Chain A
Amino acid sequence: MTDLLTPVLSAHWGEDNSWKLSRYEANGGYEAARKALDMAPADIISLVKDANLRGRGGAGFPTGMKWSFVPQDNPNPKYLVVNADESEPGTCKDMPLMMATPHTLVEGIIIAAYAINSHTAFIYCRGEVLHIIRRLQQAVREAYAAGYLGKDIFGKGYDLDIIVHAGAGAYICGEETALLDSLEGRRGQPRLRPPFPAVAGLYASPTVVNNVESIASVPSIIANGKDWFASMGTEKSKGFTLYSVSGHVKNPGQFEAPMGITMRQLIELAGGIREGHELKFFTPGGSSTPILTAEHLDIPLDYEGVAGAGSMLGTKALQVFDDTVSAVRTALRYVEFYKHESCGKCTPCREGTWWLVLLLMNFEKGIATQGDVDKLLDIADNIGGRSFCALADGAVAVVTSFIRHFRSEFEAGTHTPAWELFPYEKSAVFAEEGAVR
């Protein structure tokens, strides 16, 4: 039986100077990269495939398989791009990882880039996180100075450059093809697929785009083996992962556990729901994943378990909302996010999210009309699955799942403002101490 929590990525986050190369190496850092560079690239890909590491950025696609799709007979350079754009509401795991132990990511990049025969890798980090970018820049600089990046890494004849790249504020750049357009110096707008990035990605060359946590998990798999990795987790969802619990719990935070821990266990570890209140709803994997409620507290939080409950594991971003919260207000603010972040390329998304916001505002004010609930659902039905990327589908998931669970609150929005049904100041964390402290 594995323990309830299994810190691997987060194991050294609390140590002094954890972000420095010297500290990372004292904990065994870069041994996995040395080992990997003595392996055949195909063997690394097989190992990661056999360990069954699945992408931690939301979609859960098997990481090793993604690497194997890179056509090695393509004469163009191969690129590895790390998606560090972490912007899905609720998701807050990659930032602490890159701040505390950026070398885990750098080491993972060396292994992954070597496995796909790439000599140039990028870390595309969202721009609004200055200190994390400082730590990344410094980690890469330290790795160059130590001979772990650049020419003839570890004296093993392999060359690799890493470029730390700051974005400029656009949620859509977390979508991998939009990220690539952005990295090419363009507006971040998704591309039509196929061709997939593995065949024609950055500069129309074979490209692998992986999430930070996925890449950072690779060194431990090289070091400890596939059986070790697979000894954690459930039948089809293997390994450890970072669960991010936020919101109305007593002690929010990061909890690194084997795949399949339950929401009940996580809430307990987080000290329970705020005193005197009850769970109302939570997002399992960020705002784009349909919300779940108390009836889902015991489903295993793995890819299959959450899918079986009609939602998605996503980024394992568990935002907890208690009984003081208005479902209408929360839904409106989520959809407002998608409306603002729509890149404008596809009409159903650009116009549809706009109309959803207008209608939801009326529900919040208590001036929606009879039939507006059905109108919301009808618009959602006309948006879903009709765009290049899944951004609008996130807005649709919000509208449909909130109405499914809290339809009566929306119906009340035809006569009573949300702030009268759920006085907003009561949801604030500083409400108990009085709004002014």
Chain B
Amino acid sequence: MSGHFETYFPDSGSVDYADQSTNIDETTMAELRELAGRYPQPRSALLPMLHLVQSVDGRVSPRGIEVCAEVLGISTAEVSGVATFYTMYKRRPAGKHHVGVCTTSLCAVMGGDILLERAKQKLGIDENQTTPDGQISLERIECNAGCDYAPVMTVNWEYFDNMTPAKADELLDRLQADEEVVSTRGATITSWKEAERVLAGFPDGRADEGPSAGHASLRGLQIAKERGWSAPDKDTLPAPAEKEADQ
């Protein structure tokens, strides 16, 4: 069926071969080989290698496909087959900052749908597009494992929790103006490319930023502390015989 099909996820297709630009150099090649060397079998490094390609080229570039194939000794078809399977790999340049709005059921009903619509209007772009100045790209994302902070947004894969239209507006304004932005449960926002480099396996030294946990993660723990609840003490467990009698 080839006609128009309405979907929330309209993007599909292959890597953009019309854009052959690349920044991949000898340093990148050395890092790609280093990644391949970290695994018992080199091909296991393909996902991290594609993250690294994105950190250098801002997308999965045709040259990126070639160099991954070259380093791993597999075909470019095998690499692009992988690159087009996973949603984090972008076929067109992402923005300096990549913004996600969760619209899986819970976030959607709790406000995610409204947040996404507003973001599109405010930025003047559709989903999977980048603002003309290259500053922000926008994506409808799926459940990002932060449901107790719904509705959730992300910037460069850092959490922005309990979002409201006002908070989202301010966030987008600050990102557009290159002002400092800090994740609700994470570090100071750098850029999507720098995030991709960390995901590839090259740490950026920011692990100690941010809190140990967000407020919702601590909810049960706080109640337990207030009410004096805890796991049993292993030294004062009831004897097994008594336990059986209780049952």
Contacts and interface: CB of A to CB of B under 8 A. Distances in A.
Contacts of A19: 207-208, 212
Nearest to B232: A231
A100 B210 CA distance: 10
Interface residues of A, number: 112
Contacts of B158: 130-131
A13 interface: yes
Contacts of B220: 5, 7, 10, 243, 253-257, 269
Given A163-B38, A253-B220, A436-B165, A131 B186 contact: yes
Interface in B194-218: 195, 198-201, 203-204, 206-210, 212-218
Nearest to B43: A185
Given A251-B219, A361-B6, A436-B166, A321 B207 contact: no
Nearest to A186: B82
Contact of A185 (B7, B47, B200, B231): B47
Contacts of A238: none
Contact of A130 (B146, B186, B227): B186
A253 B8 contact: no
B51 A92 contact: no
A361 B238 CA distance: 56
Contacts of B147: 89-92, 244, 246-247, 252, 317, 319
Interface string A78-91: 00000000111111
Contact of B217 (A13, A20, A135): A13
Contact of B108 (A130, A165, A333): A333
B47 A167 contact: yes
Contacts of B30: none
B61 to A, nearest CB: 16
Which of A246, A361, A435 has the most chain B CB atoms inside 10 A of its CB? A246
Contacts of A224: 234
Which of A170, A183, A253 has the most chain B CB atoms inside 10 A of its CB? A253
Contacts of B154: 128
A377 B156 CA distance: 40
Nearest to A334: B105
B47 A165 contact: yes
B229 A4 contact: yes
Contacts of A247: 106, 110, 147, 150
B26 to A, nearest CB: 23
Given A120-B40, A246-B148, A134 B207 contact: yes
A134 to B, nearest CB: 4
Contacts of B144: 128-129
A169 B87 contact: yes
A95 interface: yes
B231 A166 contact: no
A225 B6 CA distance: 55
A134 B145 contact: no
Contacts of A390: none
B41 A203 contact: yes
Contact of A13 (B87, B109, B212, B232): B212
B111 to A, nearest CB: 4
Interface in A171-225: 171, 182-188, 203, 223-225
Contact of A435 (B86, B165, B214, B221): B165
B187 interface: yes
Contact of B157 (A88, A130, A184): A130
B104 to A, nearest CB: 5
B183 interface: yes
B104 A333 contact: yes
Which of B105, B149, B215, B240 has the most chain A CB atoms inside 10 A of its CB? B105
A74 interface: no
30 contacts: A5-B220, A5-B221, A16-B212, A77-B40, A99-B212, A128-B157, A131-B210, A134-B206, A134-B207, A138-B207, A141-B203, A166-B200, A167-B47, A169-B86, A169-B89, A170-B86, A184-B41, A184-B43, A187-B85, A224-B234, A227-B237, A248-B110, A252-B219, A256-B224, A325-B109, A333-B108, A343-B85, A427-B109, A429-B150, A431-B111
Q: Which 5 A-B pairs have the closest CB atoms?
A: A253-B219, A185-B46, A131-B186, A255-B220, A168-B86
